Structure 1
Amino acid sequence: MRKKFRLKKDQDFQLVFKKGKSFANRQFIIYKNEKEKQAFFRIGLSVSKKIGNAVTRNRIKRYIRQTFHELNDQIAKNYDYVVIARKPAAEMSFKEVKNSLIHVLKIARVLNQNKEGSK
C-alpha cells in the first residue's frame, strides 16, 4: 500500500478517534472519519501486542491491507479509516479476516453493494 493511502502520524489517528464514528464486530473495530476533499481513502492499522508475537501481528496487518486492496473499488473514497484488530483475529485465515472486515464495512455503510465482495 502506497504512503499516501496510509495513516502514520499520531495526530491523524487521534483526529479519526475524536471526530470519527466507530463500528465493530467480535474481531475488528473500524473508525471512520469523513474527509471532504479527499479523492481516496487512507487506512491506519492498530494491532496490539496482546494479540500475539510480531509474526502474528504482521500477518494480521497483511491480511487487512490485502482486503482493503481487493475491495478498493467498493469502499467509500472520502474517508480515513482506523482498523483495530481484536484477539480473535489472531487465529483467523485470510478468508475469515476478509469476511469479517466486509461485515464491519457493511455495518459502517461504506461498502458499495453493487459488486459481490467475496470471490
Structure 2
Amino acid sequence: MKKANRIKKNEEFQYIFKHGKSFANRQLVIYYAEKPGQEHFRIGLSVGKKIGNAVKRNQIKRYLRQAFHEMQSDIRPDIDIIIIARQPTKSMGFHEMKKSLSHLLYKQQLLVKK
C-alpha cells in the first residue's frame, strides 16, 4: 500500500468522522466517505492504546494494511476509509482479520461489483 493512499492528517480524519457513514462488527469499526473523481481509495488506521503495547498495535496495523493490499482491486476507488480496531483484534490472526474486514466492506457495498 503506497503512502499516498493513506489518510494521515487529523483534519481528514475529522471530516470523515463528521460527514461520513459508519458501520461496525465486534472486531472493527469502519467510517467511510465518498470522494467522487478520486483515482484510488485511501485508508486511515486507528488502534488505541487499550488494545496492547506498541508491538501488538503495529502488528494489527500491518495485518489491516496487508488485507487492503490483497483486496485493493475489489474496493471502490472513490472512497476514503477509516478503520478502528476494537479489543478482540488483539487475539486475531491475519486471515480472521481479513475475513472480518471483507465482511464489513461487503455489507456496506464498498466492493466493486463484478
Please give the TM-score of this superposition, normalised by the length of structure 2. 0.97
2:35: which partner in 1?
Answer: 35
Provide, for residues 23-74 of structure 1, a one-character-per-residue CA deviation record: whole Å limited to 9, x for no partner.
1100000111000121110000000000000011000000000000000000
Q: Which runs of 5+ in 2 are unaligned?
A: none
The number of equivalent residue pairs is 114
Matched, 1:89 2:86: no
Matched, 1:4 2:4: yes
After the TM superposition, which segments of 4 or more aligned residues of structure 1 sit over 3 Å from their partners?
none
Shift of 1:111: 1.6
Q: Which runs of 5+ in 1 are unaligned?
A: 115-119
Secondary structure of the residue aligned to 1:12 is helix
Give the fraction of aligned pairs with identical amino acids, expressed as a percent: 54
1:34-53 correspondence to structure 2 within 5 Å: 34-53=34-53
Give the root-mean-square deviation of aligned CA atoms: 0.9
Secondary structure of the residue aligned to 1:30 is strand
1:68-87 correspondence to structure 2 within 5 Å: 68-87=68-87
Shift of 1:113: 5.0
